[in-house]
Amino acid sequence: MRLRQIALVGQDLAAARADIVAVLRLGDDYADPDVDVFGLHNAVWPVGHTFLEVVSPKQEGTTAGRLLKRRGGDGGYMVILQIDHDMAAARRRMADLGVRIVHQIDRDGGKVSYSHLHPTDVGGAILSLDVMVPKERWEWGGPRWRENVKTDMSLAIVGAELQADDPDAMSARWSQVLDRPRRETAEGFRIGLEEGGEIRFAAVRDGRGEGLGAFDVSVRNAATVRAAAKTRGALDAKGGVVLCGTRVNLVEARESGPTTAVA
């Protein structure tokens, strides 16, 4: 189980695209036609082997549009985890736990599948469980996503932070749904994932209610990213990077070895 994609929701897709590319130095994006069924258009960038997406409503009455209104503007939308085991087994487990699946697909003989879980039954954000065969495949990034990879600055998305009125309760539910242990930290709770990824749960701190409040990006030089964000007007009052209404924690990478520090 690994963190493979984070989705944000923005009212103005072009504006979000311009900021994200300039600050994180990403390559070309892919417009996934599958989101049309939800009344959305989008942009998906590879960040190393992980992906960042922004969705934007193109009609009234969308789930994304309602979230924009409820949370007072752009922000976090989805956490997408890639799982290795059989999707049918995962769906049976969700049914046993009382977690509704709001949308699902199965393609290519089951080599491409996903299940979007109802946020009310899990908490904080839409959680998607996705299966791809082979493991390196990622349909939502487009057929030639590897050609769009640009890692001179941003290397991978390595974490997601959900803010909750009750981080204990929300993290306990995610731990149950994902069948992975959680650990209490000074800031809240943490669920570890493969390949160094994690999902954190903290108290609401921005006055916008529960939701996906932040994500972590491994970068080569945090100071350079912050300087680019300052030029774009994408720093908050504390000097933190904010893209599409979502805090971006910069995790500076060593030249060799794992990430070292969060900025």
Type of residue numbered 232? R
- Residue 214 Cα distances to 3, 24, 123, 211, angstroms: 14, 15, 15, 9
Query: pLDDT grade, residue 246 (50/70/90)?
Result: very high
Query: In this structure, what token pair is assigned to residue 51?
Result: 């992906």
Q: What is the distance of C-alpha 191 from the center of its chain?
A: 15
pTM of the model: 0.94
Query: pLDDT grade, residue 205 (50/70/90)?
Result: confident
pLDDT in tens, 12-70: 999 999 999 999 999 999 999 999 989 999 999 999 999 999 999 998 888 899 999 98
Statement to judge: residues 100 and 182 lie in one domain = no
Statement to judge: residues 108 and 24 lie in one domain = yes
- On the question of pLDDT at 262 being above 50, the answer is no
Statement to judge: residues 87 and 167 lie in one domain = no
Name the H helices within the chain.
13-24, 63-70, 87-97, 119-122, 167-178, 222-231
Statement to judge: residues 112 and 207 lie in one domain = no
Query: In this structure, what token pair is assigned to residue 101?
Result: 């699946």
Query: In this structure, what token pair is assigned to residue 221?
Result: 């030089």
> What's the pLDDT at 263?
38
Nearest to 12 by CA among 60, 77, 76, 74: 74
> What's the pLDDT at 255?
63
Quote the domain boundaries for residue 20. Answer: 2-135
Statement to judge: residues 34 and 79 lie in one domain = yes
User: What is the CATH classification number for the domain harbouring 66?
Assistant: 3.10.180.10
Cα of first residue to Cα of last residue in the chain, in angstroms, is: 26
For residue 172, being part of any structural domain is answered with yes
- Residue 240 Cα distances to 22, 125, 158, 184, 262, angstroms: 16, 22, 17, 24, 11
> What's the pLDDT at 206?
87
Query: In this structure, what token pair is assigned to residue 13?
Result: 């897709």
Statement to judge: residues 113 and 181 lie in one domain = no
At residue 256, the 3 state secondary structure works out as coil
- Residue written as tokens 């520090």? 261
What does DSSP say about strands 75-82 and 126-132: parallel, antiparallel, or unpaired?
parallel
Our count of domains for the chain comes to 2
Statement to judge: residues 151 and 127 lie in one domain = no
Residues in Cβ contact with 224 at an 8 Å cutoff, skipping those fewer than 6 apart: 153
Query: In this structure, what token pair is assigned to residue 206?
Result: 């921005």
Cβ–Cβ < 8 Å for 130, 4: yes
Cis peptide, bond prior to residue 167, ω within 30 of zero: no
